[in-house]
Structure 1
Amino acid sequence: MAIYTKGGDKGNTSLYDGQRIGKDSLRVETYGLFDELNANVSLADKMCVSKENKEILQKIEYKMFFLQGEIATEDTDKFIANSVIITEDDVNYLESIIDKYTDELPKVTSFILPGASMAGAQLHICRTVCRRAERQLVRFAKEETIRPVLEKYVNRMSDFSILWLDQKIMRTISKL
């Protein structure tokens, strides 16, 4: 069976719910940025040697598939009925990681330059892509209705990346 369908040859793509839209639409651009973020998180995961760090990154990778899926669906009810969704529990999970590392780390009073390790540098790429994807989601939410928990989750991912990636990873280079 061929991987190509030729359905997108004229600049359109199919969404999860079967709707066809332009590949240049705000919806496609938005879930595409989270796809880019997920690919970068996956690369960072492969660079980490710490089992704890890998588990956290893999959980985020998994959840991002559902985030992307919901954004890639005009009929949100259809997605919710047939898939896993982002919930307050997912927001709470990220908050628990942020809180744990905040308690463990000394106060940071200066910027931390990326690149102390390959994994650390890759996680800084994740941080910048996450911030860009978050800005895009905010634009998307001005035009389309999304569940508020999605914006909340993405904001925590962004907070998580600033805190955890800049502090935890850079201070535990020996674990990467």
Structure 2
Amino acid sequence: MGQPNGSISIHNRQNTSLPLDELPTVTFDKFAEWIVRAGPVDLDTNSKKAQHDEHWRPMVDLCHPCTIPYTVLGRTASLAEDARLVLRTANITSVKFPEGYRSATPGVTESLVSLLRTDVLKGVLRHYLHDLFLFGYRPQAVFHENATARDITQNMYEELLAEAMMPHT
């Protein structure tokens, strides 16, 4: 049986009494709401660490790119190009990264993000704001078909960036 449109399966590994095909399906919008409700992790106290495993935490919390002087910051969207850069930078000529990798994510992302309520979208953008900015992602770029959603998302992103740049008093 296939997943409903806009759904992903997230299985609770602690619940072994049910077969995998009987575990509940979590929709993308419910998952996004969970991310927003969980809130940011306070890195000084790890106050919400239990609610965020490494799969959902912002990369800046895990990789510390502002304190570790990385030579290359790569991303899945440009994996082949980034891998070639890493190999060139390390002067490795005997290894070739396989060609042909193409992410299917862009085609799916617009339909899933379109399901989110405005407040949830803004909360997700706030949660991952540093990652989006640092890694050069522009959230409005996921909207190829829906110009209104693209404009709304761009405005949200710019507002959040402006908030983040304001000195805290």
TM-score under structure 2 length normalisation: 0.30
Larger Rg: 2
